[in-house]
Structure formats: C-alpha cells, structure tokens
C-alpha cells in the first residue's frame, strides 16, 4: 500500500511547504521594514524639522539601512539560538 519512498516524498513535501511559509513570512517582514524605513525621512522632515533632502537617493539609503539593520538583527538572533542550543547540550551532559 504505502512504500518508504512515497512516505519520504510526503515528508519532503511538508518540509518544503513549511520552508516556503517561513520564507514568505521573512519576506513580508522585509517589506514592512522597507516601508517603515522609507517613511522615516518624511517623518524626520515633517515632525522634527530636520533639513535633509527628500529625494529618491535619500529614501533608498534609509530603506537600505533599515533592511541592513534587520538582516543583522536576524543573523544575530539565529547565532544566539545556535549558541543556546549548543550550550544546552553541553549543560545537560555534565549532570
């Protein structure tokens, strides 16, 4: 009825769907960060009176900085999870 290859393919399908879901979730976060970063120079000029030019170059620089900051945050959080996992393994072996 069911063989091992079919079961492995079904498992791979679920893993693929989950990874696509995570990828779309991260992509949507990047879009939100980019939108908020693009609004930031307008808020600076309108609310705080900062004298910066509102042109495409300035907006793209803020979008780049926002995405770069979020990427660094995401990378550091992944490294933190890996370190906690590794230290958790070593901590449980000492008991």
Alpha-carbon distances of 50 from 11, 40, 44, 63, 89, rounded to whole Å? 55, 11, 6, 18, 51
Residue 1: the pLDDT is: 61
Residue 57: the pLDDT is: 95
DSSP letters, 37-51, are: HHHHHHHHHHHH---
Any idea where the domains of the chain sit in the sequence?
4-94
Question: How does residue 90 score in pLDDT terms, banded at 50, 70 and 90?
Answer: confident
Q: pLDDT per residue over 1-36, tens digit each?
A: 668 888 899 999 999 999 999 999 999 999 999 999
Tell me the pLDDT of the chain averaged across its residues: 92
């Amino acid at each position: 009825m069911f063989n091992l290859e079919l079961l492995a393919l079904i498992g791979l399908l679920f893993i693929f769907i989950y990874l696509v879901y995570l990828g779309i979730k991260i992509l949507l976060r990047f879009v939100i960060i980019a939108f908020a970063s693009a609004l930031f120079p307008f808020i600076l000029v309108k609310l705080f009176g900062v004298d910066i030019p509102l042109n495409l170059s300035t907006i793209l620089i803020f979008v780049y900085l926002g995405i770069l900051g979020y990427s660094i945050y995401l990378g550091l959080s992944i490294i933190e999870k890996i370190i906690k996992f590794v230290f958790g393994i070593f901590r449980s072996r000492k008991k």
